[in-house]
Amino acid sequence: MEAKDKIIVPLDVSGVGKATELVNLLSPYVGFFKIGLEFIWSSIAELILFPEPEAIALLKMIRTLATAIGGLHCFIDAKLADIPNTVKGASVAVSRMGVRMFNVHASAGKEAILQAVANKRNSLVLGVTVLTSIDGDECVSIFGEEPRDKVIEFATMLVDAEADGVICSPQELEALRVFDPGVLLRVTPGVRPKWAAIGDQKRVMTPGEAIKAGADYLVIGRPITKPPPEIGGPVEAAKKIAEEIVQALERR
């Protein structure tokens, strides 16, 4: 696996045209593209609300985008969190598209995770633990535990349910060393190069730090899609991050 293949770029945009531009521009320089809730629901709303000719044109654009990404380079960030039977039905639908990865909230419970795993086809099922926008105090108010302890608890459940990976802040990666290597893929949002703004993330690391801590894949959005002017454009930002990953892998 090349360093660039460890980079997942979220397509957190509301327009299909902009998403397609990013995919065409960045495909040679990153490994995956993440389709999240903003994009999914914006597209559904437009398909329903647009006049029929515009809706048909939009649908064609969505299909073109799907072809440009390709199933093996697509991560559907569905964050499934519902009763087991509903998670089952959603997993059946998502996996039919042949995507590489999709996710379910670990907080939905073990039975829901089991249903996702049982109906994943050839996709990988990742478990969302504690969102990187949540700090320690808020985590305690929601889950009754600090992020590190809750992530370990969720990860243990994911292992028991035979999920393929865990999504957590890079700050919890060290704690995941209690699991045997290769048991869970480590996918980490909350990754920010030193030259990028932190934004709404609370528990962050640089790409190099996250890789050295054990991350398998890094979810990096705005530092690539909207980099500081001094870095250049998205391609230059992606290349710079890939170089940092290479250096970290050499030290790991």
| Dist CA 192 CA 3 (whole Å) | 16
**And the tokens for 151?**
């992530």
Residue 110 is among the residues annotated as catalytic for this protein: no
41 Cβ contact partners less than 8 Å away, ≥ 6 residues apart: none
- The string of DSSP letters for 31-75 reads SEEEE-HHHHHHHHHHHHHS-HHHHHHHHHHHHHHHHHH-GGGEE
Continuous H helices in the chain: 16-26, 37-49, 52-69, 84-96, 110-118, 136-143, 147-160, 207-213, 222-225, 234-251
Catalytic residue among 79, 150, 226, 240: 79
Residue 4 Cα to chain centre, angstroms = 15
| Dist CA 132 CA 128 (whole Å) | 10
Strand partners, 186: 166
- 89 exposure class (CB count in 10 Å sphere: 0-12, 13-18, 19+): middle
| Count of CB atoms situated within 10 Å of the CB of 198 | 10
| Dist CA 168 CA 158 (whole Å) | 12
> Taking every pair of C-alpha atoms in the chain, what is the biggest distance, in angstroms?
55
3-state SS class at 218: strand
Active site residues: 79
